[in-house]
Amino acid sequence: MDSTSRSSAHVPHPDTVAVHAGRADFAALGVHAAPIDLSSTNPLPDIEHGGDSYEAMATGRHPLAEGGNVYARLWNPTVARFEEALAELERAEASVAFGSGMAAMTAAILAHTTAIGKRHVVAVRPLYGGTDHLLDSRLLGVETTFCGQDEVHKHLRDDTGLIVLETPANPTLDLVDIAAVVAQAADVPVLVDNTFATPLLQNPIDLGARMSLHSATKYIGGHGDVIAGVIACAEPTAEALRRVRAITGAVLHPLGAYLLHRGLATLPVRLRAQQENARRIAEWLEPHDAVAEVFYPGSHDERGLVGRQMRGPGAMLAVRLHGGYAAASAFIDGVELFTHAVSLGGVDSLVQLPAALTHRPVAPEARPAADIVRLSIGLEDADDLIADLARALTAATAAAAPVPVSAAG
């Protein structure tokens, strides 16, 4: 094989893709950093061209060339570059970005249910609390059957339009075998919330899923300064999603797209360091007397999905503490380096009690226990994080200890 053949056959490593994807037009534009187009409206060359382009985008297609962008609710070049980059990382034909992860989830549900006359969804629990609440609320006019990953086929109906799952799942890091669910799904589209894994550790479309959804607010942005969602998929699915986005106005602001595109470049390095920190912290937590259980894919993977479906266990973990809610509350009050806050995947470490926050709207039977604390591991030194957790676990142990009789009376 000559050098030209070798070059054309070479597939770039995801680290390289993360840096270079979505930048093909930079040289022609004469720029090195991603340009931010903040235009809310765009000049039109003539009425007919503008109208044709408007119609194309309103139905989910791309704008016409040379003056066809029309209006930012329909198309923005800064957003489109991020979408191109994310699709390449997910090894998908396209991706569609939204103003939040929940806007992305809403669009996916609408496009595959009520928009095509189907009103039933099968959802594998556990799920992120916002997704669970949305599906359970019937706000979108759909009926949802919740089940375990091995029961999906039992609940399919003629009007089932979508199967929703999350893996690793929020907050207890349950792993779902994507290919096994796809095998049960027949021709029903499967959406995988891939937020915890990111495109670097897991590619659901390779396993037969129709859509891979990310709350891009998390690892993709990575710095706690942007709210966004994105779905990687094939182009026909992207058209359906863009149509919902155009009608509902669930657009991503171009400044947010710029931050996400910039975040992709450092995602591989960030995630590797965060994952290594999480591994060390999980190993330290496992034998601790104050800890009843550690939820971490690196040590609890009964189906053997890490290494087969996922390329690593990720940087999220959760712990169940001895002593119930009192211990969990004291633990959260006891941290100093960890910030008590919702969200995850940023450069700094976060801690929260899902039952009281992100999963509070979830039905009681599916809500995580009040003694489970979720940890998002950041880029701080692992020894410093462990020292912080040690102080907090001492506080948790004290809160969980029975009150001596002499002190009580």
For the chain, list the domains and their CATH numbers: 10-264 (3.40.640.10), 268-401 (3.90.1150.10)
Looking at residue 17, what is its pLDDT?
97
The 3-state secondary structure of 71-101 reads: ECCCCCHHHHHHHHHHHHHCCCCEEEEECCH
Give the Cα separation of 4 and 1 in Å (integer): 8
Strand partners, 352: 374
For the stretch 185-196, pLDDT in tens is 999 999 999 999
- What residue ranges of the chain have pLDDT lower than 70? 1-8, 401-409
Looking at residue 409, what is its pLDDT?
39
CB 205 within 8 A of CB 91: yes
Strand partners, 373: 319
Its pTM stands at 0.94
Give the Cα separation of 120 and 196 in Å (integer): 26
Burial 345-380 (b: 16+ CB within 10 A, else e): bbeebbbbbbbeebbeebeeeebbebbbbbbbbbbb
CB 315 within 8 A of CB 278: yes
Give the 3-state secondary structure of residue 191.
Answer: strand
Query: Which positions are annotated as active-site residues?
Result: 73, 128, 193, 218
Looking at residue 221, what is its pLDDT?
97
Q: Which of 178, 180, 184 is nearest to 197 (CA)?
A: 178
Looking at residue 7, what is its pLDDT?
52
